[in-house]
Amino acid sequence: MELSLNDTLMCGQVFRWKKLTPTSFVGIIQDRVFELKESADEQNKYCIYYRQYGENQQQLTADNISTMERIIRNYFQLDYTFEDSIPNLDGLYRYFSQKDSIVFAKICNHFPGMRIIHQDLLECLISFICSSNNNVSRITLMLDRFCKTYGTRLGSITLEENPDGNIDIYTFPTMEQLQKVTKEELESLGFGYRAGYIVDTIQVLLQQPKVRSQMENEAKSATTEQCLDRLVQVKGVGYKVAACVALYSLQKFDCVPLDVHILNLVNNHYSQFIKEQSTSLTKNAMKTYMEFFRTHFGKYCGFAQMVLYGSQVANFKARLPNELQDLLSSPKKKVRKSSSNQSPNKSKKASASTSPKKPVVEYEDELLEDEILESKDFGHVSENLVRKEFNLRPRGKVNYNSDKS
């Protein structure tokens, strides 16, 4: 299976897709509002159905359909070629399974189609600055407020599948829209100490407008370490955020963002490969554990990290058989959380409390009366719904170890 929408969109690498049903999602790609649905067709082939909302939705000509498909394929990196011996994601899973029988080979069948998304650099930077000492629900809330305050409203959608009513859709703000953002404003929106880091990053990008394009262009020829070193030069960006941006935006697939889940998993199950184990998320620890992943899984180890991370998160871990859950739950050394994105003189203060000094001002949603962009049912192919098969495998578990059975 080459793409699971749920596992790819809900695994913590992006935060602004809304899950409407167990198999359908709505979000923005290149300022276009897409609804995506995964399903099997009448031939039981796994398909991605999609439709686009808003003023960009025009009469569906061959050119428009081609553009939409190209945007989606690029976003999910469906056409990325690993190498001749690894033609697709299924092949990459088999490759990882051969190299790692400790955990990956045991769990990968339960997480098919978990891809790395090719994200916009600015959105990725801001998103992972927000992720410091945070959880997915709160990161999502912060980014929704950020986009509603500074972005452009594209409208709202009404879906029968969504019991909560209308969903307002906003673009991620452009640099022009962020020119006057202040630390105080972000603190009032509940960003806490992260507000200062976000403002610092925005100011660097505003004052040096070529930095963003330079990072994107240089990443194509730079090594991963050179890319990370370039990112941490941006004020407000620490090593952990840089690792996330390198993997999720700049296509550095040998980059592994280290968090408490991955650190605990490696300490519990791969300790024989780590000469100096760490119990805290320091920069040196991140480099050491990233090097382990590269040595153990190879140059696409970022994809392996995605699956291993999923096995540690409650929503995904619940699908594993009890014996595998027990295996992955055996605690040995607990990791102490620390924020790698904080400057030395602030780290102790920030880690003591993730709450801002002043009470957070409650953010009230406004009732907007703009046009409602209504969707159609999924029952048939219409001008609001285009079906593309993407040549994906039928939905279901892939037996990666069939040659050994």
Kindly tell me if the per-residue pLDDT of 45 is higher than 80. Answer: no
**Res 69: pLDDT:** 86
Residue 84 lies in a domain: yes
For residue 54, count CB atoms less than 10 angstroms from its CB and return exposed for 0-12, middle for 13-18, buried for 19 or more: middle
Q: Which long-range contacts (CB under 8 A, 24 or more apart) does 178-185 make?
A: 178/150, 178/202, 178/206, 179/206, 181/150, 185/149
Kindly tell me if the per-residue pLDDT of 374 is higher than 90. Answer: no
Kindly tell me if the per-residue pLDDT of 345 is higher than 50. Answer: no
Kindly tell me if the per-residue pLDDT of 156 is higher than 90. Answer: no
Q: How far apart are CA 139 and CA 128, in angstroms?
A: 9
| CB atoms closer than 10 angstroms to residue 276 | 7
Helix crossing, 121-130 with 239-248: angle to 10°?
140
Mean pLDDT of 32-56: 74
- Of 180-189, 281-290, 296-305, 347-356, give the lowest mean pLDDT range: 347-356
Tokens of 367: 């009732």
Residue 253 lies in a domain: yes
Kindly tell me if the per-residue pLDDT of 198 is higher than 90. Answer: yes
Residue 343 lies in a domain: yes
Residue 313 lies in a domain: yes
Residue 49 lies in a domain: yes
Mean pLDDT of 34-38: 88
Residue 401 lies in a domain: no
The residue ranking higher by pLDDT, 234 or 399, is 234
Instruction: With beta carbons less than 8 A apart as the criterion, state whether 262 and 309 touch.
Output: yes
Nearest to 44 by CA among 352, 318, 392: 392
Helix residue ranges per DSSP H, 232-311: 239-248, 260-269, 283-297, 301-310
Domain count, the chain: 1
**Res 279: pLDDT:** 85
Kindly tell me if the per-residue pLDDT of 239 is higher than 70. Answer: yes
pTM (global) more than 0.75: yes
Residues spanned by the domain of 389: 5-360+366-396
Give the β-pairing of 24-29 and 46-53.
unpaired
Mean pLDDT of 196-221: 85
Residue 31 lies in a domain: yes
Residue 405 lies in a domain: no
Nearest to 36 by CA among 12, 52, 14: 52
